[in-house]
Amino acid sequence: MGAYADLHRRSITDRESFWAEEAQRIHWHRPFDQVLDYSRPPFAKWFVGGQTNLCYNAVDRHLATRGDQPALVYISTETDTEKSYTYNELHDAVNVMASVIAAQGVGRGDRVLLYMPMIPEAVFAMLACARLGAVHSVVFGGFAAASCAARIDDAKPKLMITADAGLRGGKAIHYKPLVDEAVRLAKHPPRHVLVVNRGIDKEWQPVPGRDLLYTALAGNHAGAQVPVTWLESSEPSYILYTSGTTGKPKGVQRDTGGYAVALAGSMQHIYDGRPGETMFTTSDVGWVVGHSYIVYGPLIHGMTTILYEGLPIRPDAGIWWKIVADHKVNVMFSSPTAARVLKKQDPAYLKKYDLSSLRHLFLAGEPLDEPTHRWLHDAVGKPVIDHYWQTETGWPILSLAPGIEPAQVKYGSPGFPVYGYDLKLLREADATEAGPNEKGVLTIAPPLPPGCMTTVWGDDARFVETYFRTFPDQLLYATFDWGVRDADGYTFILGRTDDVINVAGHRIGTREIEEAVQAHANIAEVAVVGVADAVKGQMPLAFAVVRDAAKVATEAGRVAQEQEILATVDRQLGGIARPKRVLFVTLLPKTRSGKLLRRSLQALAEGRDPGDLTTIEDPAALEQIRNALLT
């Protein structure tokens, strides 16, 4: 048995001993009394009684040995700015931010909602919340006001932190008006909004009595030293919202101690990073990858982390590789969508820069197709490791582990189960183990390992009902992904089992999009499905039944109506959820019991066999779908 296989086996059969050893990677203010409390399945509590703090582990404990080492390097090709912060400087900046936040009455257990562009203050704010024991909830800056308001009402934050604007491709995205609208729509608005003024939006106005200007307050709190709030291991560190099969987003709740331990081990075992080295993760702090592998993971491990504001092709398609060369990046983490974008560019950009420092390039976010995997592997000349995980897990489920032993990359596969995960690939019909090369549902036998979600924020029942009821006779966590395992044990991800689609690594519930489309006055009924897209993996496609058919009777009318509906989705959810097309029909294919035949719709849209259609109530609906797809 190889070194990794042995490690994985021990993590399942000798769980408590294994994780007790892993827990020594972080600082404990008070040692834990119990490794695992699993007295209330499927809820797991790790390192019970232990007291620790994410900010202390990411910043303070490094000051004595690497205070002058760069901790955070901020690079913006949008503003042509580059700034480096040592661990000492990061410590100072986080303390100032923490002092400002604390002055607004924020303390242990209070929520702070961040709606921020990719700027250093976003990282300072996350770490400052962790320092204070406050629970941060970062909302991706691409979400519209209504989506942001829904998250405000669920988290009920005492404070919100934003900026005047973000930038993407040279175009300003005005954050402050979106925040103003979100706060107006919210039933539980925050008492204060802290604004980082970048000077991009010259028109924004503070709301008297509510809005606070960060720069002015930071000056008043210069030199502040804020004591660390030590949290019991299971106390929440943050909430991160993810789409579900209902319109209401789910607040993934993360603990403190288990998350710190899981990240610390993954930095060595999986990413093969070493303290003092540099990691470049191309995600956004609004997503789980940004939380785990821009902010917390690399800093806990004593590495330098790069925060990049910009596109992969601006000023040209060599910018990421220039960053790797300039900053001697050792570990890089990106997405299949980004790889497919770069694949369309001039390959000379990949040969232009010295990539000798780079050991591995990791990709995650959506399934990686074999041709793109092979192309990038050959183009970069370094191992490209696809790996698989979810917002819910916070760190990888499937991967190779080059930090433990060299492993053979198999194109299109994210590899093997990660230590700590008791993975089972089960037949949908009877929940028995799928055989080699047989499709099954990817599940995890609980307890979930440290670092995974502990519950849905404020809703334990939803946690159980959503994730542990796929197989009624067995208590198993469902990933909602199909997979297949080959004879060598490599797993391949085949796509979702539910109605969540993956657009460029961003999970969006089709129900959310349907609700946004139906907000348009002329929509009577709609079905949204995810269809394969060459660059983004999947894109939403909407089939809509209108109330007034006369408005879509002509080509000009259909175009005008489609643009109105897309604008409605933009307002409700943001451009990230915008359907690729809105196709107009008078019937949607349903069973006699009224169930929408989504999988058949998706198959037709992708030019595949729609399967058994004997249950359809009105076969004419299919003909309408086929005709609509030809327009």
Task: Check which CATH number belongs to the domain holding 584 and give it.
Answer: 3.30.300.30
Can you state the percent helix, strand and coil of the chain, rounding each to 5? 35, 25, 40
Q: How confident is the model at residue 95 (pLDDT cuts 50, 70, 90)?
A: very high
Q: Which of 164, 195, 229 is the last residue of a domain?
A: 229
Residue 506 within any structural domain of the chain: yes
What are residue 399's DSSP bridge partners?
416
Q: Give the model's pLDDT for residue 414.
A: 96
Q: Give the model's pLDDT for residue 614.
A: 57
Q: Give the model's pLDDT for residue 589.
A: 83
pLDDT tens profile 271-329: 999 999 999 999 999 999 999 999 999 999 999 999 999 999 999 999 999 999 999 99
Helix (H) or strand (E) holding 35: strand 34-40
Q: Which of 172, 198, 229 is the last residue of a domain?
A: 229
What are residue 360's DSSP bridge partners?
331
Nearest to 207 by CA among 189, 218, 193: 193
Task: Please check whether residue 213 is in contact with residue 206, taking contact to mean a CB–CB distance below 8 angstroms.
Answer: yes
Residue 544 lies in domain:
500-630
Helix (H) or strand (E) holding 550: none
Task: Please check whether residue 209 is in contact with residue 173, taking contact to mean a CB–CB distance below 8 angstroms.
Answer: no
Q: Give the model's pLDDT for residue 575.
A: 84
Residue 570 within any structural domain of the chain: yes
236 pLDDT above the threshold of 80: yes
Residue 124 within any structural domain of the chain: yes
pLDDT tens profile 538-587: 899 999 988 888 998 899 999 999 999 999 998 888 888 899 999 999 88
Nearest to 571 by CA among 502, 513, 491: 513
What value does the mean pLDDT of the chain take? 92
pLDDT tens profile 394-437: 999 999 999 999 889 999 999 999 999 999 999 988 899 999 99
Q: How confident is the model at residue 606 (pLDDT cuts 50, 70, 90)?
A: confident
232 pLDDT above the threshold of 70: yes
Task: Please check whether residue 511 is in contact with residue 246, taking contact to mean a CB–CB distance below 8 angstroms.
Answer: yes
Q: How confident is the model at residue 337 (pLDDT cuts 50, 70, 90)?
A: confident
189 pLDDT above the threshold of 60: yes
607 pLDDT above the threshold of 90: no
In angstroms, the first-to-last Cα distance of the chain is 57
Q: Give the model's pLDDT for residue 247.
A: 60
Task: Please check whether residue 617 is in contact with residue 611, taking contact to mean a CB–CB distance below 8 angstroms.
Answer: no
Task: Please check whether residue 321 is in contact with residue 355, taking contact to mean a CB–CB distance below 8 angstroms.
Answer: yes
How large is the average pLDDT for residues 365-374?
85
Nearest to 193 by CA among 211, 181, 176, 208: 211
- Collapsed DSSP state (helix, strand, coil) of residue 472: coil
Residue 577 within any structural domain of the chain: yes
591 pLDDT above the threshold of 70: no
> Alpha-carbon torsion 422, 423, 429, 435, what sign?
negative
DSSP states of 274-307: -TT-EEEE-S-TTSHHHIIIIIIHHHHTT-EEEE
How large is the average pLDDT for residues 480-488?
92
Record the tokens describing residue 88, joined without a space. Answer: 């000492």
Q: Give the model's pLDDT for residue 508.
A: 80
Q: Which of 189, 205, 229 is the last residue of a domain?
A: 229
Cis peptide before 42 (omega within 30 of 0): yes
How large is the average pLDDT for residues 479-500?
86
- 85 vs 62: CA distance, rounded Å: 14
Beta strands 440-445 and 455-456 are: unpaired
pLDDT tens profile 130-147: 999 999 999 988 788 888
Q: Name the one residue in this structure whose structure tokens are 């934050």.
A: 157
Q: How confident is the model at residue 388 (pLDDT cuts 50, 70, 90)?
A: very high
Q: Give the model's pLDDT for residue 344.
A: 82
Q: Name the one residue in this structure whose structure tokens are 């404020």.
A: 458
- Contact residues for 472 (Cβ-Cβ < 8 A; gap 6+): none
Enter the DSSP assignment of 586.
Answer: S
- 45 vs 568: CA distance, rounded Å: 43
- Position with higher pLDDT, 364 vs 616: 364
- Collapsed DSSP state (helix, strand, coil) of residue 181: helix
Q: Of the ranges 29-43, 145-159, 264-278, 367-381, which one carries the lowest mean pLDDT score?
A: 367-381
Task: Please check whether residue 499 is in contact with residue 598, taking contact to mean a CB–CB distance below 8 angstroms.
Answer: yes
- 44 vs 261: CA distance, rounded Å: 15
Label residues 223-237 b or e (16+ Cβ within 10 Å = b): ebebebbbbbbbbbb
Q: How many CA atoms are closer than 13 Å to the CA of 99, on its beta-carbon side? A: 18
Residue-level length of the chain:
631
Q: Give the model's pLDDT for residue 98.
A: 98
- Collapsed DSSP state (helix, strand, coil) of residue 121: helix
Residue 15 within any structural domain of the chain: no
Q: How confident is the model at residue 246 (pLDDT cuts 50, 70, 90)?
A: low
Tell me what percent of the residues of the chain surpass a pLDDT of 70: 97
Q: Cα torsion at 406, 292, 363, 404 (round to 10°)?
A: 0
Q: How confident is the model at residue 172 (pLDDT cuts 50, 70, 90)?
A: very high
Task: Please check whether residue 518 is in contact with residue 546, taking contact to mean a CB–CB distance below 8 angstroms.
Answer: no
Nearest to 517 by CA among 573, 558, 555, 601: 573
Record the tokens describing residue 356, joined without a space. Answer: 């000798």
Q: What angle do CA 368, 371, 376 make, to 5 degrees?
A: 80
CATH number of the domain enclosing 150: 3.40.50.980
- Collapsed DSSP state (helix, strand, coil) of residue 135: strand
Task: Please check whether residue 49 is in contact with residue 32, taking contact to mean a CB–CB distance below 8 angstroms.
Answer: yes
Tell me what percent of the residues of the chain surpass a pLDDT of 90: 73
Enter the DSSP assignment of 617.
Answer: S
Q: Give the model's pLDDT for residue 590.
A: 74
For the chain, what is the domain count? 2
- 103 vs 450: CA distance, rounded Å: 33
Cis peptide before 417 (omega within 30 of 0): no
Q: How confident is the model at residue 615 (pLDDT cuts 50, 70, 90)?
A: low
- 552 vs 559: CA distance, rounded Å: 8
Q: Give the model's pLDDT for residue 331.
A: 98
Q: Give the model's pLDDT for residue 245.
A: 52
80 pLDDT above the threshold of 90: yes
Residue 595 within any structural domain of the chain: yes
Enter the DSSP assignment of 596.
Answer: B
Nearest to 538 by CA among 570, 504, 569: 504
Q: Give the model's pLDDT for residue 617.
A: 67
Q: Give the model's pLDDT for residue 285.
A: 94
Residue 583 within any structural domain of the chain: yes
- As a whole number of angstroms, the longest Cα–Cα distance in the chain is 73
How large is the average pLDDT for residues 96-106?
98
- 186 vs 156: CA distance, rounded Å: 9
Beta strands 250-254 and 422-426 are: unpaired
Residue 578 within any structural domain of the chain: yes
